[in-house]
Chain A
Amino acid sequence: MQDFLDWTVVIGILSSGIRLATPYLYAAIGETFGQRSGVLNLGVDGIMLLAAFSSYFTVLTLGSPWLGLLVAILVGGLMGIAMGFISITLQAEQGISGIGVYLFGLGLSDLLFQKFVGTAKAISGFKEFPIPLLSKIPFFGDIFFSQSVLVYGAYLLIPLAWFILNKTTFGLNIRAVGENPEAADSLGVSVQKTRYLTLTLGGILAGIAGASLSIALLNVFQQNLTNGMGFIAVALVYFGGWRPFYVLLGSLIFSFVNALQVWMQVLGVPIPSDIAVMMPYVLTIVVLIFSAGRVRPPAALTKTYERGS
C-alpha cells in the first residue's frame, strides 16, 4: 500500500477535486444569478444535457472544441430564454416548469444521440493546457495550472460573479428584483427584463457546464451523462447561501471529499465501498445542518411577479 500522504497522492486528490468541481461551479453560479433575481430554475440538469450533447456532436462532426463551446453557449442561452418564457411571461409555477425543462432536455438529448450518433464514440475535445511558467511551480503547478481551459474558466467565474452581483448596477438590479420586485419596479427597474437576463445567463453557464463534461473532462456522450449533477448544483446554491465564494467552498468540499474517497479505495484503505461513496453526501448534509439559518433566501424566490397584483 502506497503511503497515503505521499505527495503524488495529495496532488492527485487536489487536482482531481478541482476537475470534479468544474461542472458544478458553472451550473451553480448560473443558478445563483437566477435565484438572486427570484427565479428557481430546476431545469439546469436538462439544459446541461442538451448543451453537452450539442457540443459533443459539434466536435464529433466538425472537430473544433471552440465551436462546440459556442454551440453549448447558444443552446444553453436558448434554453434559459425558454425557461424565462414559461416562468416569467406565462407565469407558470417555477418548480414545475423547471422539472419540465429538465425532462425535455433529458429526453431530447437522448433522442438526438440515438438518432444521430447511436453508440458512444470518444472525441478529442479541449486538451489540458498547462499555463506557461505557473504550471512549473512545484506542487501548485500540477494542481491548479495544468488543467483544461474550461477548468480555469470556472474558477475565474467566481470572483467575476461576485463582482457583478455586488459591485455593479446590474447586480444591484438583480438583488432588488429578487428581494422586493414591487419596489424595484416602482424605481424603474424592469423585473421581467432582469429575470430574463439572469435566466439566459444561467442557461449559458449551465450550457458551459454540460460542455465541460462532454468536450473537456469526459470527451464522450451517453444518455443522462450528467447523472443528476444539475440538481446537486441547485443544492450547492442553497448550501452557499446564494453567495459565489460560498458556492465555491461547497463545490470544493463536495468534490475534494469525492476525490479523497476514490483515492482511499484505490490505495486499498480498508473501508467498505458503500461507506466511501457516501462520504461527500454525508459531509455536505452535516455542513448544511450546521450552517442552516445562516442566510435567508432572496425574499421573492419562486414568486412570480405581476405589476399591480
Chain B
Amino acid sequence: MKRLVVSLCLLLGLAWAQDAFKVAVVMPSATNDLAFSESMYDSLLAIQEEMGADNFEFDYADGTFVVDDAAAAIRDWASQGYDLIIAHGSQYGAPLQEIAPDFPDVSFAWGTAGDTFGMDNVYAYEAASDQGGYVNGVIAATLSKSGIIGVVGPIEVGDAKLYVDGFKIGATATNPEVQVNVNYIGSFGDVALATEAANTHAEAGADVLTGSAQMVVGAIGVAKERGLLWLGTQASQTELAPEIVVANQVYDWTVILKPIIEQVKAGKLGGEAYVITLENGGLDMEINDNAGADAKAAAEAAISGIIDGSIAPLGE
C-alpha cells in the first residue's frame, strides 16, 4: 500500500513536471561573472518571469570550465527528460557533437557558434558582437584625449575576436589618427594577466580601455584606480565601477531563446542557427550619462547606421 502511494505521488509529480518546459544549461563561469555566463543566466530568468515558474524551469551547472565535466552534465541531463539542453560556450562543441546523436529526441543548443553540425536536434547561436564593438569603438575614439586606446582580449576566437575587430574598425573610422593597441592574454580566466595587460596599456599611454570575457574584472579595477574610461561587453559592467564605465554592449539571449523554445514545443528539435544583433534587439547598447552628449550622439548614429546597413562593422 505504502509503495503504491509513493508510486502514485511520483507519477503525479512526473505528470506535473511534464507541463513545464524544462531547460538545463552548462556555463563556463559563474552566473554573476558580469560577462558571458551572466548574460545567459539573466536571459533565462527573464524568460522564466515571462512564462511563469510553473511553465518554465531551468537548471544550470555554472563554473564548468573543465570541458569533460560539462560533457558529463550534458549526458546526464539528456537522459533525464529535459526539453532543451544548452551548452553555453564554444568549447563545448566537440563533446556536444558526440553526445547529440545518442539522444535524437532531445534538443540541444550551443554557442557562441554558427554550426549545427548538420544535426537536426542541434541549434546554434552566436552574437554579432562586432556591431556593439564598432559602437564602443566610436565612443572610445570620441572620448580618448591621448589618442591611444587599449584592448584586453581573452583568446582570439568567437565573439571576443568579433568584438575586438569591430571595435578597432569603429575607432579608426571615427578618428583615423587614433591608435588601438590590442592584447590577447590567451585565457578566459587569468585575472592576473588581464590586470597586468591593463597596466601595460596604461603605461603605453592609453586613456580608454575595453576588453571581453570574464577575466576583465581586474582590468576594470586598473581603469578605476588610474582614472581611465572603460567600455564593457557581454553584460553590464557598470556596477563594478560606475564612475568610469561609459558604455556596455549587453547580450540579451531571450531574442533567440524564445523562437528556439517555440520550435522545440512544436516538435522541431534543431537544425537552425541564430544570431543576436542590434537590429533584432539581442544586442543592447547601454550608454551611461558619463559618456557625454557628443559620444552618445556619435554612438546613436553608428547604431542606426549598422541597423540600416550603411555601416559594415567589420569593414567592406
Q: Cβ of A193 < 8 Å from any Cβ of B?
A: no
Indicate if the CB atoms of A218 and B218 lie closer than 8 Å.
yes
B248 interface contact, C-beta 8 A: no
Question: B192 and A122: CB pair below 8 A?
Answer: no
Q: Quick check: is B201 within 8 A (CB to CB) of the other chain?
A: yes
Taking CB atoms, residues of chain B closer than 8 Å to A267 are 181, 204
**How close is B150's CB to chain A, nearest CB, in angstroms?**
7
In contact, B186 and A218 (Cβ under 8 angstroms): no
Give which listed residue, B63, B150, B187, B220, contacts A122 with CB less than 8 A: B220
Partner of A121 from the list B181, B215, B240 (CB cut-off 8 Å) is B240
Identity of the chain B residue whose Cβ is nearest the Cβ of A107 in the assembled complex? B63
Q: Which residues of A contact B190 (CB under 8 A)?
A: 227
Name the interface residues of B200-219: CB closer than 8 Å to any CB of A: 200-201, 203-204, 214-215, 217-218
What's the Cα separation between A217 and B193 when bound, in Å? 10
With A and B bound together, what is the CA distance between A121 and B32 in angstroms?
A: 11
Closest to B185 in A: A277
Task: Give the total of B residues in contact with A, Cβ under 8 Å.
Answer: 42
Contact with B along A216-228 (1 / 0, CB 8 A): 0111101111110
Whether B192 and A20, one on each chain, are in contact in the complex, defined by CB atoms closer than 8 angstroms, is yes
Task: Find B203's partner among A12, A110, A120, A224 (CB 8 Å cutoff).
Answer: A12
Per-position binary interface string of chain A over residues 58-87, scored 1 when its CB falls under 8 Å from any chain B CB and 0 otherwise: 000000000000000000000000000000
- B231 CB-CB contact with A under 8 Å: no
Q: B156's contact among A12, A119, A258, A274, by CB below 8 Å, is which? A: A274
Q: Are B240 and A224 in contact (CB under 8 A)?
A: no
B184 touches A277 (CB 8 A): yes
Contacts of B203 in A (CB 8 A): 8, 12
In the complex, A291 has a CB within 8 A of chain B? no
Residue among A2, A121, A220 making CB contact with B204, cutoff 8 Å: A2
Q: Which one of A114, A223, A258 lies within 8 Å of B193 (CB-CB)?
A: A258
The answer to whether B186 and A259 have CB atoms under 8 Å apart is no
Query: Are A110's CB and B63's CB within 8 A?
Result: yes
Q: Does A95 contact B (CB under 8 A)?
A: no
Q: Does A266 contact B (CB under 8 A)?
A: yes
Give me the 6 closest cross-chain CB pairs, A-B, nearest first. A277-B186, A273-B184, A119-B32, A265-B183, A218-B218, A12-B203
Interfacial residues, chain A to chain B (CB-CB below 8 A): 2, 8-9, 12, 16, 19-20, 23, 110, 114, 118-122, 213, 217-220, 222-227, 229, 258-259, 262-263, 265-268, 272-274, 276-278
